[in-house]
Amino acid sequence: MTQLRAWLTADTPVSRNHARAIQAYLSWRALASNPLTMIGLLIVVALVVFATLAPMLAPQSPVAQDLTQRFIAPGTQYLFGTDEFGRDILSRILYGARVTLYIVVLVAVTAAPVGLLVGTVSGYFGGWVDAALMRITDIFLAFPRLILALAFVSALGPGIENAVLAIALTAWPPYARIARAETLTIRTSDFIAAARLQGASGFRIVVGHVVPLCSSSLIVRVTLDMAGVILTAAGLGFLGLGAQPPLAEWGAMVSSGRRYLLDYWWVATIPGLAIFVVSLGFNLLGDGLRDVLDPKSS
Amino acid sequence: MALTFFGLLLVTFLIGRVVPVDPVLAAIGDRASHDTYEQVRREMGLDLPLWQQFASYVLQVLKGELGKSVLTANTVVDDIKRVFPATMELATTATLFGVAFGVPMGVVAAVNQGRWPDQIVRLLGLFGYSMPVFWLGLMGLLLFYGILDIAAAPGRVDFANLDVVETWSGLILLDSALQGEWEVFFDALHHLILPAAVLGYLSLAYISRMTRSFMLEQLRQEYVTTARVKGLSEARVIWRHALGNVMVPLITVIALSYANLLEGSVLTETVFAWPGLGQYLTASLLAADMNAVLGATIVVGAIFIGINLLSDLLYRLVDPRAK
């Protein structure tokens, strides 16, 4: 253990991987020193664990109805109570974590690479490419996000896939802006000039040298954005345009519990609390990551 | 700016094209003969090339024609004129709330950087960023209406006060005050407070965070030291000198948060049965009333773009360095 720590904190790395390990370890230490960040990380990890293990953890099926067990208050029998169809809310929350995770991951893996590519290409090549790409980015950036997502979903039809598509379409422009700003400072560096003199193609420079350097600030932004994505997805679900019943989705659960709010408070309150906690988790983690990876912007 | 608006129209046009509903069939029903179908299709201009259709669409929108709503049988423009004041009233009150509390909170946080007031403001802001607004609204209703019974029921006024006041501006507070209907005025105010506070909390989170970071930047400047050395009171240094310089970038922040509230109002209005643009939009969405949906999208988008432009202009007006 002490040997490992000594290896990880050595000030003279002996290999490239050693240097990387030291870097990662030091970042981790900085991250772990902030308790709020750790709470955020814990929430995000819990989301992933609950979503993956939902079938094993859930005491009941998320869709099994039992009308004799309607509106049972939270207690020992049902931890979070039951809803208007006698379904166990705890099980629905656990399965709902899958929907939330699915949306978050899908938006992140579609919007972030697109934004990264547009931004780096735009920043590196400049000229008319830059002008054209940034105009398009500006147009999308000027749109109200939820409204545009609403219009998209109404055209494509309600459902998770369309909700993801709509959110991803409105999520990439800020990433493009960040990537472009980073690229502009990187492209005049000596090592880029060296790579160019060695005959590297523009594509190779962008993908091999520029993209990796932009990724840390992008990771911060994506993490912070995930909170907003969860809220937008939940909003779409609340309006009945996201995941369709009987699939357990937190926003839709709040919406259906809304009718019984004053008599059976838990039906709408608990799924909303789940949205809030997960969204807070991403915000806390994102804040902490920014302090470590991207100190200049905080 | 003009380009952005053009882009907005292009997007709404394309959305209108990919709808799986055939507009011709929607107009004539599926029992009409093939000839009638072709004739109506030509009349609606759907046989023209796509770019010509788009050009005539842009011309129409510029003339202020957004088509007819299937749901209400009015033109979309009339509908929006009717519902928009309610949204404006809500968003404006919410922004006032956000500024009135957010700016002082941001200043206090910056002055006490790293100490407990700063932590509290930071946490309140984080909560605001993470809170689903529709859920916050429901919790507000549950607590203040259901349990404490001090807030009004959803809606804009009580049932008995509906249609008492003539519609002049559509802003019910203004109309009732001008017409001396004080009972309606206070009833409307009572109904407005909770939704405006819920929505205002979102802008409070944003405004207080931005105020804090702008203030921190100003407090490091040398003129602040000079003012202190001159013997000015600390309150004067902070609230007059530093905050005075922060007001300029804050204008942009406040304008942006106002634009964002127009969007947040879609969900808030649904929760509070607030008869504004957001509720109109969601009702049309659920009824697949595309003219109304796209019309409302264009209007909100245009306001969004307009506010962005306005805040840019204001910024240049107030800050001579930006010229």
Q: Are B230 and B224 in contact (CB under 8 A)?
A: no
What per-residue confidence (pLDDT) applies to B108?
A: 92
pLDDT of B124 higher than 60: yes
Helix (H) or strand (E) holding B294: helix B290-318
Supply the pLDDT for residue B93: 92
Q: Considering only residues 208 to 267 of chain A, which have any Cβ-Cβ distance to chain B shorter than 8 Å? A: 227-228, 231, 234-235, 238-241, 251, 254-255, 258, 261-262, 265
The b/e string for B225-244 (b: 16+ C-beta within 10 A; e otherwise) is eebeeeeeeeeebbeebbbe
Write the residue in A142, A262, A275 that is nearest to B142 by C-beta: A262
Give the separation between CA B141 and CA B193, rounded to whole angstroms.
11
Q: For residue B142, give the DSSP letter.
A: I
Q: B3 vs A10, A147, B118, B321, CA distance in Å?
A: 55, 19, 42, 27
List, for residues B66-75, the tens digit of each pLDDT value.
777 777 778 8
**Per residue in A128-137, pLDDT tens?**
988 888 888 8
Mean pLDDT, residues A211-235: 88
Give the C-alpha distances (Å, rounded to integers) separating B140 from B135, B146, B148, B209.
8, 9, 10, 23
- CB contact under 8 Å between A142 and B304, yes or no, is yes
Q: How far apart are CA B18 and CA B139, in angstroms?
A: 38
ipTM score of complex:
0.85
CB contact under 8 Å between A239 and B290, yes or no, is no
pLDDT-derived band at B3, boundaries 50, 70, 90: confident
Q: How far is CA B272 from the centre of its chain?
A: 15
Q: Give bridge partners of residue B75 from the DSSP assignment.
A: B68
CB contact under 8 A, B132 and A279: yes
Q: Which of A118-122, B61-65, B80-84 has the lowest mean pLDDT?
A: B61-65
Q: Is A268 on the interface with B (CB under 8 A)?
A: yes
- Which residues between 63 and 122 in chain B have a beta carbon less than 8 angstroms from any beta carbon of chain A? none
pLDDT at B88 over 50: yes
Asked if B135 lies within 8 A of A254 by C-beta distance, the reply is yes
Please report which confidence band the pLDDT of residue A145 belongs to, taking 50, 70 and 90 as the band edges. confident
Specify whether the CB–CB gap between B96 and A239 falls below 8 A.
Answer: no
Which has more confidence, A79 or B84?
A: B84
Tokens of B37: 């179908």
Distance CA A170, CA A177 (A): 13
CA–CA separation, A251 and A96 (whole Å): 9
pLDDT at B307 over 90: no
Check CB contact under 8 Å for A144 and B308: no
Q: What single DSSP character describes residue A60?
A: S
Residues written for chain A:
298
Token pair of A217 as six digits:
């600030």
Q: Do residue B135 and residue A275 have CB atoms under 8 angstroms apart?
A: yes
Please, which pLDDT band fits residue B19 given cuts at 50, 70 and 90? low
Range from A30-34, A259-263, B20-24 carrying the lowest mean pLDDT: B20-24
pLDDT tens for residues A146-188? 888 888 887 777 888 888 888 888 889 889 988 888 888 888 8
B68 beta partners: B75
Longest C-alpha distance within chain B, in Å? 89
A272/B132 touch (CB, cutoff 8 Å), yes or no: yes
Q: Where residue B20 falls among pLDDT bands split at 50, 70, 90?
A: low
User: In the predicted model, is pLDDT for residue A111 greater than 60?
Assistant: yes
Report CB contact under 8 Å: A142, B305: yes
Helix pair angle (A89-125, A250-257), 10° resolution: 130
Q: What is the pLDDT of residue B28?
A: 66
Q: How distant, in Å, are the alpha carbons of A61, A144, A151, B61, B295 from that of B289?
A: 37, 20, 11, 17, 10
> Quick check: B243 pLDDT over 60?
yes
Q: Name which residue leads in pLDDT, B169 or A44.
A: A44
SS3 B68: strand
pLDDT grade, residue A7 (50/70/90)?
Answer: confident
- Per-residue pLDDT at B189 exceeds 90: no
Span of A219-228, B72-81, B170-179 with lowest mean pLDDT: B170-179
Mean pLDDT of B43-63: 77
What three-state secondary structure class fits A120?
Answer: helix
Per-residue confidence (pLDDT) for residue A274, from 0 to 100: 94
SS3 label, residue B75: strand
Match 């023209």 to its residue by tokens: B48
Q: Please determine, for residue B298, whether its predicted confidence score (pLDDT) is greater than 80.
A: yes
Task: Please indicate whether, in this complex, the C-beta atoms of B266 and A155 are within 8 angstroms of each other.
Answer: no
Does position A80 have pLDDT exceeding 60, yes or no?
Answer: yes
CB contact under 8 A, A283 and B130: yes
* β strands within B252-294, DSSP E: none
Structural tokens at position B240: 């007059």
Distance from CA of A264 to the nearest CA of B (A): 10
Question: What is the pLDDT averaged over residues B148-169?
Answer: 75
Residues 137-156 in A contacting B (C-alpha not used; CB under 8 Å) = 138-140, 142-148, 150-152, 154-156
pLDDT at B26: 64
Instruction: Test B15 with A151 for CB contact under 8 angstroms.
Output: yes
B269 closest CA partner among A167, A251, A235, A241: A235
Does the pLDDT of residue A298 top 50, yes or no?
A: no
CB atoms within 10 A of CB B1: 12
Task: Please give the span between the terminal C-alpha atoms of chain B, in angstroms, as a whole number.
Answer: 19
A279 CB neighbours in chain B (<8 A) are 129-132
Closest-CA residue of A relative to B148 is: A262
Q: How far apart are the first and last CA of chain A?
A: 34
**Alpha-carbon span A72 to A84, nearest angstrom:** 9
Mean pLDDT of the residues in chain A: 86
- How far apart, in Å, are the Cα atoms of A264 and each of A71, A86, A267? 7, 13, 6
Q: Which of B130, B146, B300 sits opposite A147 (nearest CB)?
A: B300
Question: What sign does the CA torsion over A223, A229, A234, A237 have?
Answer: negative
Burial class (CB in 10 A: 0-12, 13-18, 19+), A36: middle
Give the tens place of pLDDT for each residue, B258-290: 888 877 788 899 889 888 888 888 888 877 777
Contact A275 B286 (CB under 8 A): no
More confident residue, A296 or A258: A258
Interface test with A, best of B119, B133, B134 (most A CBs within 10 A): B134
Interfacial B residues in 180-209 facing A (CB < 8 Å): none
Cβ of A142 and B8 within 8 Å? Answer: yes
Neighbour-count burial of B320, counting CB atoms closer than 10 A to its CB (0-12 exposed, 13-18 middle, 19+ buried): exposed
Enumerate the residues of chain B whose CB falls inside 8 A of the CB of residue A268.
135, 138
pLDDT at A280 over 90: yes
Put simply, whether B138 touches A (Cβ < 8 Å) is yes
Residue of chain A whose alpha carbon sits nearest to that of B19:
A155
The DSSP letter of residue B144 is I
Side-chain-side CA neighbours of B303 within 13 Å: the count stands at 21
Mean pLDDT calculated for residue range A253-265: 87
